Structure 1
C-alpha cells in the first residue's frame, strides 16, 4: 500500500494555500498514515483531475525527481523562468502543436509554437514551489510519479476520455484526438459537431471523426458489471468546466440513461457532503471548476488549495484509512517538458509527461 512507504509518525500538513493571494481555505493536518496490514486493501479510490501542466512546469526542482530548469529550443537551450501559477495566457495544446513541440523526438520544438503574438519561448517556465506548496507537501510525504505520460499528444477532450477508459480508439485503425468542433463536448454538442481522428500509424484527420456521443465501453461498464459503486463529481453543464471536462457527457449509455442522474453528480463540491456522510463510492472522479483547475489562462491560483481541501476532508473522515487518492493533471497544456515519451508511437501517443501524486 502506498502509505506503507511512510514511517508511522509522518504527518501531512497542508496548512499553506498557494501564493499570490489565494483565498480558498485550507484545512488542518492529516492524520498519520495507518500502518500497513497484510491482506488489508483500499476500498475507495478518489481521482482528483487537474488541468494542463507538465511535470517540469510544476516539479522542475523537486528533489530526487527527473526535472530540469534547462530547456532545449530548436537552435540551442534556454533557462526555464520561475513563474506564478496564475497565468493570463493558455499555450496551444492540440495534436499539430504537440508534433511541433515533439519535433521527431528531439523535444526541442516548443519555442516554435507562438501563442498569438507571444513568442513560443513563453512556455519555458516552472511554477514557483512556494505557490504550489500543497502539491509539494503531498509529493514529499507520499508518492510522486515523474514518468507518467499522457495516452496521446492531445488536449482535454481525449485526455478526460482516457481517464474513464484508457484510450479513445473507435475501431482497430482510428482513435479520437483533439477537441470536438463545438461545445459542450459530448452528447449535448450542437448538431453538426464533429471530432478529429488519428490512425494507428499517426496520420491525422482533422474534422473526420464522429459526433461526440460515443458507444465504446468505459470503466463504468467494468464497475457496473461487478456491482462496484462509482460517482463522477463535476461542474454542471452550462458551466465552462462542465461543458468541456465532463467525460461521461460523451458516453451515450450514461448521458441517455439513469446513471446521468444517479452517478454523475453536480456540482463538484457535492463530494464534500459524501465525505462528511461517509458515503463515498468505491471509485470517484472529481473534476474542478475552471478557477480551481490550474488551467493556464484562468487568472487564478486556487487549484492547490482546492486539492488540499478535498484531501484534508478525506483525512478527517472515517474513509481515510481505506482510501487511495490520485491527483493527476489531464494533459501537458503546451508547457515545456524535457523527457521524451518512451516506446514506439501509435495513435498519436504516448504524449508528454504530466504530474501524478498518489496519497
Structure 2
C-alpha cells in the first residue's frame, strides 16, 4: 500500500481524532489540529523542511539552476462532478462501475446521460452524509426530493470523448479531492485563497433592495441583506467534537457550531501575492454568482483591480485570441456551460466550451509555456468510492476529476498523487516564487509530479486541437426505474 493509499483510508479505521496528510512520502500525524485554512495560519507544519517543495512520488522539477518553462498558468474550474462519475470507467484509473448504498447493497453505476434535469444535493452536510465515516455509502440519502440513486452514474468515452482525449494525451489525476465537503461558493474560495474563511454554505437571503452604483442588484460585499453560514472560531475541544462527527448520526452536532455572517471577507488571497510580485492575473467569473469568489473579498471588490482584473467568462477565449492572456488566469465558465447538473445543462455543450478555450490557447503563442489545470469544484451529489483524507473540520470532500494539460505534462499519465484544489494554488506559488497563504497550500503537493521539466519538448507536437461536438441532449429516450422511489434513472447502454 502506498503512502497516499494510507492517507485515504484513515476514515474507515475509525481513528477520528487524528489526521493524516501525505507530503512527498512523509506522513504527518497531529491530534486535534487547528484549521489548515485558518486566516493568517502561516507556520509550516512540523516535519517539513523550509524551502523544500513537497513533491510527491517520481518528482520531476526543473533541473538544478534552470528556470521553469512555465510562464502562464490557467485554472479552469468546472462544477459538481466526482472522479467516478466522469472517469470511473477510464482504463488504468482508480475507478469503479458499482457503488454501495445505505442499505449495504451494491448497485451498478448506470451510464450517465448528457442532461440530468435536476440538481443533486451537495451541501456541506450532504458531503458528510455521503462519506459517512469513510464508508462512502450515503450518496442515496442526499435529500433532493427523497432518497435517490440518481448520483450513481458514470460516463463512458462516448459521453465525454474530449475530456477522455485530454486524459489520453496529458495527465489525469485520480486522487484529487474537493477541498471541503461542499458546496460551490466556499470551494471556490479555496481556489483563490487556500481557505474558505470557515464558510460552510452558499449565500442566503439575497437583499433585493441593495443595489450597486450601476443599478444592478448587489451581491456579497455590496448586499447588506445577504447572509452565509460558517463555523465559529472553535476551541481545541470544539474542533475535536467536529472532527469526530463523521457519520450520518452526527450531523446535528456539526450544525451546533454554525454562525450566520455577511458573505464579505478580507483575508489575503493569491491575487494579493501576485500584485505584490508584479505578476499579471485575471479572474473570469459571472458577477454575483456563487462561483465568483473574489466578489466576496472586500479589498478586491472595492479596489482598482475589480474592473480590469475581474471580468466575465465570455471574455476568456477572446482574450487569448487577442494575445491578452495573463500570467495567471482563473476561468469559471458561465451557467449552462459548466457541467453543473440541472436546469437543462448539457455536458456536451459544457465540454465544447472548455475545448473551444483550450484550442485557442493551443493555437496561440502562449501554448509553449502554459500549464492548464481543469478540475471540478465539488462532488455535486455524485457517487465516488474513495474515502477522502480528513485534514480538518472542512474536509477533504470526495474526489473530483483533475486534467493537467501542457506541453510539459507527462503524456498519457495517470497521477495517483493526493491533491486537492489548494494544490493548484501551491503550484502557482512555487512556479512564481511566492509565499504560501495558509496551512492548506503549505501541506499540499505542488503538482510537479505531473510534469517533465527535465527534457526539452516540441510544443507543436503536443498540441491537441479537438473538434467541437454536435450536442443532441439525452442519448436515449428510455428510463429504467432502478428502485421504487421518487425518480427513475435516465439510462443508456454501455
Tell me what 1:157 maps to.
Answer: 185
1:211 pairs, out of 232, 256, 262, with: 262
2:345 pairs, out of 288, 297, 300, with: 300
Tell me what 2:228 maps to.
Answer: 194
The 8 Å contact of residues 89 and 155 in structure 2, kept in 1 or not, is answered as: no
The 8 Å contact of residues 120 and 341 in structure 2, kept in 1 or not, is answered as: yes
Give, in angstroms, the shift of residue 131 of structure 1.
Answer: 2.1
1:99 pairs, out of 114, 128, 152, with: 128
The 8 Å contact of residues 85 and 128 in structure 1, kept in 2 or not, is answered as: no
Give, in angstroms, the shift of residue 334 of structure 1.
Answer: 0.7
Residue 167 (str. 1) matches residue 199 (str. 2):
no
Tell me what 1:115 maps to.
Answer: 144
Quick one: distance in 2 between partners of 1:273 and 1:62?
33
Query: Could you list the runs of 5+ residues in structure 2 that have no partner in the other structure?
Result: 1-61, 207-217, 243-253, 406-494
With 206-215 and 317-326 compared, the bigger mean Cα shift is at 206-215
Per-residue deviation, residues 276-335 of structure 1 (Å, max 9, x unmatched): 122211000111111101000031221111110011000100011011111010110011
The 8 Å contact of residues 264 and 296 in structure 2, kept in 1 or not, is answered as: yes
Name segments (4+ residues, structure 1) moved above 3 Å.
Answer: 36-40, 182-185, 198-201, 203-207
Tell me what 1:131 maps to.
Answer: 159
SS in 1 for 2:77: strand
2:272 pairs, out of 218, 221, 225, with: 221
SS in 2 for 1:303: helix
Quick one: distance in 2 between partners of 1:95 and 1:232?
25
SS in 2 for 1:243: coil
| 1:88–1:206 CA distance, 2 compared to 1 (3 A) | farther
1:1-359 correspondence runs (5 A): 39-75=67-103, 76-117=105-146, 119-169=147-197, 175-183=198-206, 186-197=220-231, 199=234, 200-201=239-240, 202=242, 203-205=254-256, 208-235=259-286, 237=287, 242-266=288-312, 268-301=313-346, 302-342=349-389, 344-359=390-405
Quick one: distance in 1 between partners of 2:166 and 2:99?
26
The 8 Å contact of residues 290 and 298 in structure 1, kept in 2 or not, is answered as: no
SS in 2 for 1:261: helix
SS in 2 for 1:131: coil
| 1:189–1:67 CA distance, 2 compared to 1 (3 A) | farther
With 310-319 and 121-130 compared, the bigger mean Cα shift is at 121-130
- Compare CA radii of gyration and give the structure with the larger one: 2
Give, in angstroms, the shift of residue 91 of structure 1.
Answer: 0.6
SS in 1 for 2:134: coil
SS in 1 for 2:99: strand
Give, in angstroms, the shift of residue 207 of structure 1.
Answer: 5.7
| 1:92–1:228 CA distance, 2 compared to 1 (3 A) | same
Quick one: distance in 2 between partners of 1:289 and 1:276?
19
Query: Could you list the runs of 5+ residues in structure 1 that have no partner in the other structure?
Result: 1-35, 170-174
SS in 2 for 1:103: helix
| 1:356–1:182 CA distance, 2 compared to 1 (3 A) | farther
| 1:212–1:136 CA distance, 2 compared to 1 (3 A) | same
| 1:318–1:142 CA distance, 2 compared to 1 (3 A) | same
**Between Structure 1 and Structure 2, how many residues are aligned?**
311
Quick one: distance in 2 between partners of 1:195 and 1:93?
15
Give, in angstroms, the shift of residue 347 of structure 1.
Answer: 1.9
Q: Taking structure 1 as the reference length, what is the TM-score of the superposition?
A: 0.82
Per-residue deviation, residues 15-46 of structure 1 (Å, max 9, x unmatched): xxxxxxxxxxxxxxxxxxxxx99644211101
Tell me what 2:19 maps to.
Answer: none
The 8 Å contact of residues 120 and 151 in structure 2, kept in 1 or not, is answered as: yes
The 8 Å contact of residues 282 and 329 in structure 2, kept in 1 or not, is answered as: yes
Quick one: distance in 1 between partners of 2:95 and 2:219?
34
Quick one: distance in 2 between partners of 1:205 and 1:181?
18
